[in-house]
Amino acid sequence: MNGVEQETVGTYGLMAEFESPTGLIAACEAAREAGYTKLDAYTPYPIEAVWEALGHHKSKVPLLVLLGGLAGASGGFLFQYWVSVVAYPMNIGGRPFNSWVAFLIPSFEMMILLAAFAAVLGMFILNGLPMPYHPVFNVERFAQASRDRYFLLIGKIDPHFDPTETRRFLEGLAPVEVAEVEE
Amino acid sequence: MSDPLGKAPIVAPGHTAGSVTDKISSIVFERTPRWWWAAFGASFLLVMMLLHSLTKLLFTGVGIWGINIPVGWGFAIINLVWWIGIGHAGTLISAILLLLRQEWRTSINRFAEAMTLFAVACAGIFPLIHVGRPWLAYWLLPYPNTMELWPQFRSPLIWDVFAISTYATVSALFWYVGLIPDLATLRDRSVQRWKKMLFGAFAMGWRGSAVHWHNYEVAYLMLAALATPLVVSVHSVISFDFAVGQLPGWHATIFPPYFVAGAIFAGFAMVLTLSIPLRRLFRLEDFITLRHIQNMAKVMLATGLIVAYGYMTEIFMAFYSGNQFEEFMILNRIAGPYRLYWWALILTNVLAPQAIWLRKVRTSPALIFLVAMFVNVGMWLERYVIVVTSLSRDFLPSSWGTYSGTYWDWSLFIGTIGLFLALIFLFIRFLPMISIFEMRTILPGAKGNPE
C-alpha cells in the first residue's frame, strides 16, 4: 500500500477509511480547509454533518415534488373536467357537469401519485442511479461502507490532487487505511 | 440510549452498527429454518385453495357466492375494507411516526410496510372479482376507447379506483426506496456471485455517498409527508362508498374519521399478530423490544376507543335523529337476525382491548397477541355488520332479505389470508425484515446520539 511511485493514470482518486463518524467529519473539514473540492464521503447511514462538512447545498428533490404535485393536481382536475363537461357530459341526478367538488378527490390522489413519483425518480436522477459500475467498488474494504465504516474520497479530478501529496495529507488524518481507487 | 423518561431502550444495550448489520442480514443468509418451511407450506396450501376458488369463480360467476338482491355486496366488500384497513398501520408506522420523530418505529417499519403492500394486494383481489367479469375490470380506468365511454367521476366507486391504486403504488415506492440502502448492504455481504448480482441489481449501484444520502433523506421525508394525507384519504374514500349511499346505517357523516380510526386499529392489531411470534422465532427481542409491543398495544387501545366512540355515536344519532329507519337499523343490529355478529363485535372490538389498561396484560406479549387476535376478528365483524344488516333491511319490508356466506365466500377469504401469510414468509426469508440502515442511526454514538 505504498503509493509513492504509483502512476496516476487509471486512478480515480484516493480513499481513506475511518472508524467513527467523528473521524470522518473532522477529515472532511480538514480536506476542505486544505483546498480540496472534489470530495465525496461514504457512510453506512445518513449523517447530516457530513454533507454539511462537504459543503453541499440544498437538495433539489423538494422542487421536483412540488412540480409533480402541481402537475398531478391540475392535470387530474382538467382531465376530469374535460371528460365530464366536453367529451362525455352525463346528467347524474341533476348535478352540474362540472361537479368540481367530486373531482377534487381523484385530483388529490393524482397529486399524491405524481408527487411521489417525482420524489423517487428525482432522487434517482439526482443521485445518478442506477449506476451498475463505479470505481469505488474496486476498493476491497469499501464493502464495509455499508456496514460500519466511514470513507472519504478525494477525486483525481480535483485541481489540488497529487498522488503523493494527497496520500500524505490523508494519512495525516489518522485513518485506518488509505487506498488507491482504480478507475 | 435510555431517554429522560426512563423508558426501556429502543435497542438492547451493547449493539453496534456492525452487530446490528450482522444480526439482521444473517436472517437472509442463514439456512432456512425448519419452522419456516412448515409455516410457508401451510400458507401455500391456502394459496392453492385461493386459486381453486378463483378458478371456480371465473368459470361459474359470482352466483357461487351468497350475495343476492338486496344484499349485493357481501364478503367481497367486507374483505376489501378489512384488508385495506390492515394495510393502513404500515403506512402509519412508516410515515406518520417518521414525521413525528418516533424513533421506536425504526425496528418495525420495514416489516409493517411489507404488511401494507401484501394487505393491499389481497384487498385488490376483491373489487376485481366482485365486478363479475374481472377481465373487463380495466373499464374502470379512464382511457380512450372505441365505445367512446368515460368513467363517471361523481361516483365514490371511481374515487376508490384512484385512491386504492395510488395507495398501492405509493406504498410500493416507499417500501422499495426504504430497501435500497439495505439491498446495498446485502450486496456487499453476499458471498456467492449470483446473490451479489441480484442484490446489486436491485440496489442500483447505491454507494452511500454523502450526495446520495442527502437527496435520499429529503426524498424519503417527502414520501412520508405525501403518504400521510394519502392514507387518511384512502379510508375516507372507502367510507364514502357507504356514506354517499342512502341506506340507514351507511349514510352518516361520521364515517370517514370512524373508518380511518378503525383501519389503524385493525392494522396495529395485525402488526402485533405478526411481530410477536416473529421476534420470538428469529430471536429479535433485542430490536423489537417489549417497549415496541407496548407502544403498539397502546395505539391499538387508543384507536379502539375512538372506534368504540363511533359505535356509541351511531346509536345516539339513530335515536337523536328521530328518524324511524335509523332507529330501526340500530335495533335490528342489536336484536335482529344478525345480533350475534353485533354482540361478538362489541365483545371483540370494544371490551377485549380494554384489557390493555392492565399492566399485567401490557407486559405480556402473549396476552397482547390474544387481544390483537380478538381485534382482527372484531374488525371483520364490524364490516360484516355494516354491510349486511343495512342491505338486508332497508326502507321497504317487501325488499328485505337474508344473507350468509357460502363455502366459496369463506374459501376466498381464508385463501387471501394464506396469500398474505405466504407473501410475508417469503419477504422475511429473502429481504431484511428490519431496516438495517435506520437501526444504525438510532444506536448510541451514531450521528449526535450520546455514547
Domains of chain B: 25-448 (1.20.1630.10)
Find chain B residues with C-beta within 8 A of A138's C-beta. none
- Same domain? A138 vs A111: no
- Same domain? A113 vs A67: yes
Which domain range does residue A77 map to?
61-126
- Same domain? A47 vs A66: no
Res B152 pLDDT > 80: yes
Residue B5 has a pLDDT of 44
Alpha-helical (H) ranges within A56-155 are: 61-81, 100-127
* Cβ <8 Å between A44 and B437: yes
B67: DSSP letter = -
Q: Model confidence over B170-216: pLDDT tens digits? A: 999 999 999 999 999 988 888 888 988 889 899 888 888 888 888 99
Residue whose grid cell is 496516476: A8
Do the domain assignments include residue A119?
yes
**Residue B361 burial (CB < 10 Å; 0-12/13-18/19+)?**
middle
Mean pLDDT of the residues in chain B: 89
Q: Copy the grid coordinates of residue B306.
A: 375512538
Do the domain assignments include residue A33?
yes
Do the domain assignments include residue A3?
no
For residues B286 and B171, what is the distance between their CA atoms, to the nearest angstrom?
27
Q: Which pLDDT band holds residue B126 (cuts at 50, 70, 90)? A: very high
Do the domain assignments include residue A97?
yes
Mean pLDDT of the residues in chain A: 85
The answer to whether the beta carbons of residues A111 and B225 sit under 8 Å apart is no
Q: Considering only residues A6 and A179, tell me which one the structure prediction assigns the higher pLDDT.
A: A179
Helix A61-81 / helix A100-127 crossing angle, nearest 10 deg:
150
Last residue within a domain, chosen from A90, A111, A126:
A126
Contacts of B101 (CB under 8 A, 6+ apart): none
Q: Closest chain A residue to B155 measured between Cα atoms?
A: A102
Q: Considering only residues B30 and A56, tell me which one the structure prediction assigns the higher pLDDT.
A: B30
Q: What is the mean pLDDT of residues B155-169?
A: 92
The answer to whether the beta carbons of residues B67 and B405 sit under 8 Å apart is no
Residue B450 has a pLDDT of 47
Q: Which pLDDT band holds residue B119 (cuts at 50, 70, 90)? A: very high
For residues B199 and B431, what is the distance between their CA atoms, to the nearest angstrom?
10
For residues B106 and B103, what is the distance between their CA atoms, to the nearest angstrom?
6
- Same domain? A18 vs A46: yes
Is B170 touching A (CB cutoff 8 A)?
yes
For residues B255 and B237, what is the distance between their CA atoms, to the nearest angstrom?
10
Find chain B residues with C-beta within 8 A of A134's C-beta. 205, 207
Last residue within a domain, chosen from A111, A126, A141:
A126
N- to C-terminal Cα separation, chain B = 8
For residues A167 and B321, what is the distance between their CA atoms, to the nearest angstrom?
82
* Cβ <8 Å between B210 and A50: yes
Res B429 pLDDT > 80: yes
Residue A48 has a pLDDT of 82
Q: Model confidence over B221-280: pLDDT tens digits? A: 999 999 999 999 999 999 999 999 889 989 988 999 999 999 999 999 999 999 899 888
Residue A13 has a pLDDT of 84
Strands A11-18 and A39-42, sheet pairing: unpaired
Q: Model confidence over A62-119: pLDDT tens digits? A: 999 999 999 999 999 999 999 999 999 989 889 999 999 999 999 999 999 999 999 9
The answer to whether the beta carbons of residues B192 and A25 sit under 8 Å apart is no
Which residue pairs from A86-93 have beta carbons closer than 8 angstroms and sit at least 24 positions apart in sequence?
A87/B148, A87/B150, A88/B148, A88/B149, A88/B150, A90/B152, A92/B152, A92/B154
Residue B7 has a pLDDT of 58
Ranges A25-39, B23-37, B220-234, most confident: B220-234
- Same domain? A52 vs A135: yes
Q: What is the DSSP string of B431-442?
A: S-SS-HHHHHHT
For residue B244, give how far its alpha carbon lies from the nearest alpha carbon of chain A (Å).
11
Residue A9 has a pLDDT of 56
Res A8 pLDDT > 80: no
Res B433 pLDDT > 90: no
Do the domain assignments include residue A6?
no
- Same domain? A17 vs A47: yes
Residue B170 has a pLDDT of 93
Single pTM value for the model: 0.90
Report percent pLDDT > 90 for chain B: 60
Last residue within a domain, chosen from A126, A149, A173:
A126
At A41 the three-state DSSP class reads strand
Find chain B residues with C-beta within 8 A of A122's C-beta. 215, 219
Q: Model confidence over B366-386: pLDDT tens digits? A: 999 999 999 999 999 999 999
- CA-based radius of gyration for chain A: 25
Residue B448 has a pLDDT of 52
Residue B410 has a pLDDT of 96
Res A6 pLDDT > 80: no
- Same domain? A121 vs A144: no
Find the farthest-apart pair of alpha carbons in chain B and give their distance in angstroms, rounded: 74
Domains contained in chain A, number: 2
Q: Model confidence over B31-88: pLDDT tens digits? A: 888 889 999 999 999 999 999 999 999 999 999 999 999 999 999 999 999 999 999 8
Residue B418 has a pLDDT of 96
Res B104 pLDDT > 90: no
- Same domain? A121 vs A72: yes
Omega of the bond prior to A46 within 30 degrees of 0, cis?
Answer: no
Residue A5 has a pLDDT of 47
Q: Which candidate in A114, A127, A131 is best for mutational testing of the B interface (most B CBs within 10 A)? A: A127
Residue B449 has a pLDDT of 53
- Same domain? A27 vs A66: no
The answer to whether the beta carbons of residues B386 and B242 sit under 8 Å apart is yes
Do the domain assignments include residue A5?
no
Find chain A residues with C-beta within 8 A of B432's C-beta. none
- Same domain? A52 vs A66: no
- Same domain? A120 vs A31: no
For residues A155 and B146, what is the distance between their CA atoms, to the nearest angstrom?
58
| Distance (Å) of CA B326 to CA B206, B248, B388 | 58, 5, 15
**Residue B213 burial (CB < 10 Å; 0-12/13-18/19+)?**
buried
Do the domain assignments include residue A51?
yes
Residue B377 has a pLDDT of 95
Q: Which residue from A102, A68, A131 is spatially nearest to B170, judged by alpha carbons?
A: A68
Other C-beta atoms within 10 Å of B180: how many? 23
Do the domain assignments include residue A52?
yes
Res A180 pLDDT > 50: yes
- Same domain? A165 vs A138: yes
Residue A3 has a pLDDT of 44
Beta bridge partners of B429: none
For residue A133, give how far its alpha carbon lies from the nearest alpha carbon of chain B (Å).
7
For residues B13 and B307, what is the distance between their CA atoms, to the nearest angstrom?
38
Size of interface A-B (CB pairs under 8 A): 199
Is A67 touching B (CB cutoff 8 A)?
no
Q: Closest chain A residue to B223 measured between Cα atoms?
A: A116
Contact map slice: B 7-36 vs A, CB within 8 A? 16-18, 21
Q: What is the mean pLDDT of residues B288-293?
A: 87
Q: Which pLDDT band holds residue B445 (cuts at 50, 70, 90)? A: low
Find chain B residues with C-beta within 8 A of A140's C-beta. none
A11, containing H or E segment = strand A11-18
For residue B184, give how far its alpha carbon lies from the nearest alpha carbon of chain A (Å).
7
Beta bridge partners of A64: none
Residue A111 has a pLDDT of 96
Edge-to-edge, what's the strand order for the sheet holding A39-42?
A39-42, A150-155, A11-18, A177-182
